[in-house]
Amino acid sequence: MTAATTTGAVPTELAHGHGGGGPAPTRTVVAYGFWIFILSDVTMFTALFAAYAVLAGRTADGPTASDVINLRHVFIETVCLLLSSYACGLGALSAERRRPGRYLVFAALTFALGAAFLFIEISDFVDMAKAGAVPSRSAFLSAFWTLVGMHGAHVTTGLVWLAYMAAQVAAKGLKPHVLRRLLCFSLFWHALDIIWVGVLTLVYLMGAM
């Protein structure tokens, strides 16, 4: 407690979420706010997960889960997403260490791997649609397309956001407000992986059994 008891010294030791030493750093506040948004997004996904879990067996004599699932593709998709998250983390480290060149390389890797995931997912969707496994075919397929499609839509949004962030780093450099936006993007991208763990387990692995 030496810092706090010294006369005139700002007790910065207490300034981290205890309410004793002044406001929390902007970075902490921004990350907390974005974390709340992510949790609200996760809450929306839980509704879709619940709908899928309830409707998974309602196939109306149409295609079942094991008919439409290609586990080999799903495995490649999963590895792409994990590698993409890894590259995103290393990119965040490069940004924290103020190395914009390295950040841009990792951002490009993150983007490429995310795009590869999306490409496989969309080509699988096209194959399903060609085979007549469209959302209107059965309650199972409605729930499947909504849940998996919503995750894919989030990945698409993430890719657009990532391209925008790379442009900001290239144009403005790693300024504090750009770093805060990068932090939010990292949270978003890693959280999408958590959603994918749920999709992989509930939809693909349990469905293919």
Partner 1 sequence: MQYVDHHQFDDRSPGVEQQEPTASTLTYTVGFAFALLLTLASFAVTQTGLLWAPGIPVGLVVLALAQIGVHLIFFLHIGFGPESTNNIVALAFGAWIALLVIGGSILIMANLDANMMPM
> Of these, 6, 19, 60, 96, which contacts partner 1 (CB under 8 A)?
96
Tell me the residue type at 28.
T
> Of these, 1, 101, 136, 160, which contacts partner 1 (CB under 8 A)?
1
For residue 37, give Cα distances in angstroms to 28, 43, 157: 14, 10, 15
Tell me 8's DSSP state: T
> Of these, 6, 19, 26, 173, which contacts partner 1 (CB under 8 A)?
26
Interface with partner 1 includes 19 (CB under 8 A)?
no
Question: Cα dihedral sign for 158, 80, 198, 189?
Answer: negative
Listed residue (132, 89, 95, 135) closest to 113, CA to CA: 89
> Of these, 76, 90, 104, 112, which contacts partner 1 (CB under 8 A)?
90
Q: How far apart are CA 118 and CA 130, in angstroms?
A: 18
Q: Which is nearer to partner 1, 28 or 123 (CB)?
A: 28
Listed residue (79, 99, 100, 106) closest to 186, CA to CA: 106
Interface with partner 1 includes 76 (CB under 8 A)?
no
> Residue 59 CB, nearest distance to partner 1 (Å)?
15
Q: How far apart are CA 145 and CA 207, in angstroms?
A: 14
36-44, 113-121, 124-132, 142-150 -> range binding partner 1 (CB under 8 A): 36-44
* Touching partner 1, residues 169-208 (CB under 8 A): 176, 179, 187, 190-191, 193-194, 197-198, 200-201, 205-206, 208
> Of these, 8, 18, 109, 165, which contacts partner 1 (CB under 8 A)?
18
Interface with partner 1 includes 75 (CB under 8 A)?
yes
Which pair of structure tokens corresponds to residue 69? 């699932």
Q: Which residue has the tokens 């075919």?
A: 137
Which pair of structure tokens corresponds to residue 174? 């790693």
Which pair of structure tokens corresponds to residue 193? 């992986």
Residue ranges binding partner 1 (CB under 8 A): 1, 3, 10, 12-18, 21-28, 31-32, 35-36, 39, 42-43, 46-47, 49-51, 53-54, 71, 75, 78-79, 82-83, 85-86, 89-90, 92-93, 96-97, 176, 179, 187, 190-191, 193-194, 197-198, 200-201, 205-206, 208-209
